[in-house]
């Protein structure tokens, strides 16, 4: 069974963890965190970070060349 790295931008709001964005491409998550981080903080999100999740579903080759 193959496994793949899937990256998620996560944050805490109202004491609970929330996934704000996800991608098989780490750079996509970094860019999203940079571009949307200020807005997310204004909405009340805290501790915004990126984590790796190991998944068995392969990335869509049409999206992730």
* Residue 63 resides in a domain: no
Give pLDDT tens digits for 6-63: 999 999 999 999 999 999 999 999 999 999 999 999 999 999 999 999 999 999 999 9
Residues 29, 22, 48, 54, Cα dihedral to 10°: -100
Range of the domain at 26: 4-55
pLDDT of residue 65: 77
Of the two residues 19 and 1, the one the predictor is more confident about is: 19
**22 three-class SS:** strand
* Residue 9 resides in a domain: yes
Q: How far apart are CA 30 and CA 12, in angstroms?
A: 17
Instruction: Please compute, for residue 28, the number of CA atoms within 13 A of its CA located in the half-sphere on the CB side.
Output: 12
pLDDT of residue 1: 81
pLDDT of residue 7: 98
* Residue 60 resides in a domain: no
Number of domains in the chain: 1
Structure tokens at 60: 């869509």
pLDDT of residue 51: 98
* Residue 31 resides in a domain: yes
């Amino acid at each position: 069974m193959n496994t793949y790295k899937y990256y998620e931008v996560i944050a805490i709001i109202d004491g609970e963890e929330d996934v704000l964005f996800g991608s098989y491409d780490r750079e996509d998550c970094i860019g999203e965190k940079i571009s949307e981080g200020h807005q997310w903080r204004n909405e009340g999100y805290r501790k915004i970070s990126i984590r790796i999740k190991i998944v068995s579903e392969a990335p869509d080759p049409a999206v992730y060349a």
